[in-house]
Amino acid sequence: MMTWFGPEELQAVRLSIKVASWAMVASLPIGILTAYALARWSFPGKQLLNGLVHLPLILPPVVTGYLLLLLFGPMGPMGQLLAALNISVAFRWTGAALTAAIMGFPLMVRALRLSFELIDPKLERAASTLGASPLWVFWSVTLPLALPGVVAGSVLAFAKAMGEFGATITFVANIPGETQTLPSAIYAFLQVPGGETSALRLVVISVLISFAALLVSEALNRRLIKRLAAA
């Protein structure tokens, strides 16, 4: 590996995996809550929330990136709030992870929402008659039954995070070792003469990682669905 890769390429691969993993893990709890609320609850502003969640899917990525810069940049309201907590996301890998999380969020929520909607509420009612509090019902019945959606949503969010380019480069730029993820690195290599071989190697890696993620999720999902086959 080390000999085949240049240090810059390896750095980009490592950073991308780090950014995508953080984006996936950190957005999962919020994604589960949002998807559950959209699937099960009725509340004022539900359609607004739904629209907000889907916005990154529809907006041009460069717009999302610019909005993030306005919000989370050193001068932005969120940026100053985070600065007070000694957290900085501007031009940092954390900013890349935040961008990736927001861009992958609609895909994750869609998969989760669908799996929540497919769960028969009668099973949850049965659990409550057996003495389980609403939180326990969620933990012991709803969430396990939604596991295929959790896996699918996570993989989609991870894949989206690995490939996110437009919003990331707009918000956190293209700093090697800090914010230069796989797509940014491919882009950078293509800008310099003689960079094609490096770019091509990263393209192959990118395809392999995405494919592996897809295969793992398919395999997991098959096992889960078999396990959850209608009782």
Partner 1 sequence: MSFDVDIALAQGRFQLDAKFSVPSGLTVLFGKSGSGKTTLINAVAGLLMPDRGRVRVGQRVLFDSEQKIALPAHKRRLGYIFQDARLFPHLSVQKNLLYGQRFLPRSLGKTDPEQIISLLGLEALLQRRPEQLSGGEKQRVAIGRALLAAPELLLADEPLTALDEARKLEILPYFERIRDELKLPVLYVSHAVTEVARLASTVVVLDQGRVTQVGSASEVLSDPQIVPTGVRNVGSVITAQLLQHHVDGLSELSCKGIPLFVPRIDRPIGTVMRLRVAAHEIILSLKKPEGLSALNILPGTIAAIHSGGGPGALVTLETAAGALLARVTQRSVATLELEVGKPVFAVMKSVAIAPQDIGRDHA
Q: Which residues bind partner 1 (CB under 8 A)?
A: 122-123, 125-134, 136-137, 140-141, 144-145, 147, 227-231
| CB nearer partner 1, residue 14 or residue 227 | 227
Task: Report, in Å, the least distance between residue 140 CB and partner 1.
Answer: 8
Residue linked to tokens 């992870």: 97
Cβ distance 217 to 151 under 8 Å?
yes
Task: Report, in Å, the least distance between residue 144 CB and partner 1.
Answer: 5
Task: Report, in Å, the least distance between residue 114 CB and partner 1.
Answer: 18
Instruction: Of 4, 2, 16, give the one whose Cα is nearest residue 177.
Output: 16
| CB nearer partner 1, residue 141 or residue 157 | 141
| CB nearer partner 1, residue 100 or residue 119 | 119
- The neighbour count for residue 50, using CB atoms within 10 Å, is 16
Which residue type does 132 have?
A
Task: Report, in Å, the least distance between residue 127 CB and partner 1.
Answer: 7
Question: For residue 212, what are the CA distances in angstroms to 54, 100, 144, 155, 219?
Answer: 27, 19, 24, 10, 11
C-alpha–C-alpha distance, residues 47 and 36, integer Å: 14
| CB nearer partner 1, residue 145 or residue 209 | 145
- The neighbour count for residue 183, using CB atoms within 10 Å, is 21
Which residue type does 160 have?
K
Phi and psi, residue 146, nearest 5°: -90, 5
Question: For residue 91, what are the CA distances in angstroms to 19, 20, 42, 129, 204?
Answer: 13, 16, 39, 52, 27
Task: Report, in Å, the least distance between residue 187 CB and partner 1.
Answer: 44
Instruction: Of 97, 114, 104, give the one whose Cα is nearest residue 54.
Output: 104
| CB nearer partner 1, residue 126 or residue 175 | 126
Task: Report, in Å, the least distance between residue 113 CB and partner 1.
Answer: 19
| CB nearer partner 1, residue 2 or residue 135 | 135
